[in-house]
Copies of this chain bind each other. A is one copy, B any other.
Amino acid sequence: MAKPSAPSRERIVAGAADMISRRGLNGTSIRDLAKHAEAPLGSTYHYFPEGKQQLATEAVQYADAAVARVLRKELDAGPVAGLHAFLALWRGIVLASDFRAGCPVLAVAVEEPPADETPPALVATAEAFDRWEQLLAEALREHGAAPDQAPGLATLIVASVEGAIAMCRAKRTMEPLDQVARQLEALILGALDGPA
């Protein structure tokens, strides 16, 4: 009684993730969001009664899930394959938007809580980063990396890719991401059989 009809709800969330990845959280208004998702303004508050905060949270979780799905699928073929899928995903987003879109999770993570209470959207960004790191670390361990080095390498991968995406947007070039890609691939290969 609550699931059968809701195609527009997901459209709104997906549109929010896309819009936030372009203009940032504060730069994304609910009116524009509704217009862009071809949904009426009223529906936004019908589906997301807690307003923008809830919308931002779900947008982050949406992006998180999409990335995690790709990672889970491609990491089976090894960490290098997973890395390539991770990179290709962001590469496609940046390139298809002509350097106007980036990572919505990073965008939300970069705007502070005005109050002392940690807003749920920020919590969602932390969970997203954690999930990606954990997936990568697990795959690294399963393919022969030293268990005590896997988490650190996974963190480096996520951090450098996120940073590189932003740098690509600034420079309007794919060079940062491509450079980072080369380094990370070599690093992973080196970690899979070093001390053994």
> Chain A residues in contact with chain B, CB under 8 A?
22-27, 100-102, 106-107, 109-114, 118, 122, 125-126, 129-130, 151-153, 155-156, 158-164, 166-167, 169-172, 175-176, 179-180, 182-184, 187
Copies of this chain, tallied across the complex:
2
Contact A159 B180 (CB under 8 A): yes
Note all chain B residues with C-beta closer than 8 A to A166: 106, 109-110, 162-163
- Please, how many angstroms separate the alpha-carbon atoms of A110 and B25 in the complex? 10
- Please, how many angstroms separate the alpha-carbon atoms of A26 and B183 in the complex? 34
> A153's closest neighbor in chain B, by CB?
B183
CB-CB under 8 A for A24 and B25, given A152-B179, A183-B153 = yes
- Please, how many angstroms separate the alpha-carbon atoms of A107 and B169 in the complex? 12
Note all chain B residues with C-beta closer than 8 A to A152: 179, 182-183
Note all chain B residues with C-beta closer than 8 A to A151: 179
- Please, how many angstroms separate the alpha-carbon atoms of A110 and B166 in the complex? 6
Note all chain B residues with C-beta closer than 8 A to A167: 109, 129, 155, 158-159, 162
In the assembled complex, 7 residue pairs joining A and B whose CB atoms fall closer than 8 Å, in A order, are A24-B24, A25-B27, A107-B110, A112-B169, A155-B179, A155-B180, A161-B163
Contact A22 B112 (CB under 8 A): yes
Choose from B100, B113, B175, B179 the contact partner of A156 (Cβ within 8 Å).
B179
Query: Closest CB of chain B to A83's CB: distance in Å?
Result: 14
- Please, how many angstroms separate the alpha-carbon atoms of A23 and B110 in the complex? 7
- Please, how many angstroms separate the alpha-carbon atoms of A151 and B175 in the complex? 11
CB-CB under 8 A for A122 and B170, given A156-B183, A160-B163 = yes
| Best-surrounded residue of A101, A113, A167, A184 (most CB of chain B within 10 A) | A167
- Please, how many angstroms separate the alpha-carbon atoms of A106 and B106 in the complex? 10
- Please, how many angstroms separate the alpha-carbon atoms of A118 and B113 in the complex? 29
